[in-house]
């Protein structure tokens, strides 16, 4: 019971203070939340809880959905073919490295999608 309260308080503090850190560091809030969560998870404030795993995966999928809705498809279709070819090659190389890195270091499948989003 106490562990769950510590988990909820820690997540709440990350959500509350990440915009302040983001403003100081001049970075978007979402990467700051991910970094703070990773650091506090490494230190031990975030422990393994089934409900937390479910909420974390749902939150990540929601984040990817929101990122996808910010793309203006009309502008994408007006892009010259030469630029589109370069973009496709870039994404293929980026995801190739992401897959190789995730497999090499035995990371979860979620890192295949997560790693390219930082570059």
Q: What is the pLDDT of residues 26-57, one digit of tens each?
A: 988 888 888 888 888 788 777 677 777 777 78
Which band of pLDDT confidence, cut at 50, 70 and 90, is reported for residue 119?
Answer: low
Higher per-residue pLDDT: 93 or 52:
93
Q: DSSP for 12-79?
A: HHHHHHHHHHHHHHT--HHHHHHHHHHHHHHHTSS---HHHHHHHHHHHHHHHHHHHHT--HHHHHTS
pTM (2 decimals)? 0.47
> Mean per-residue pLDDT for 58-83?
81
As a whole number, mean pLDDT of residues 62-80 equals: 80
Confidence grade of residue 1 (pLDDT, cut at 50, 70, 90): low
More confident residue, 3 or 35: 35
> Higher pLDDT residue, 3 or 42?
42
More confident residue, 86 or 10: 86
Q: What is the pLDDT of residue 41?
A: 78
């Amino acid at each position: 019971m106490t562990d769950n309260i510590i988990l909820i308080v820690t997540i709440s503090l990350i959500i509350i203070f990440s915009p302040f850190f983001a403003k100081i560091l001049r970075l978007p809030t979402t990467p700051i939340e991910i970094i703070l969560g990773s650091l506090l998870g490494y230190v031990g404030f975030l422990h393994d809880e089934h409900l937390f795993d479910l909420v974390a995966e749902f939150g990540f999928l929601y984040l990817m959905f929101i990122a996808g809705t910010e793309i203006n498809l009309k502008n994408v279709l007006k892009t010259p073919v030469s630029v589109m070819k370069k973009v496709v090659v870039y994404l293929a190389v980026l995801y190739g490295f992401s897959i190789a890195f995730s497999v090499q270091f035995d990371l979860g499948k979620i890192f295949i999608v997560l790693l390219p989003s930082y570059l």
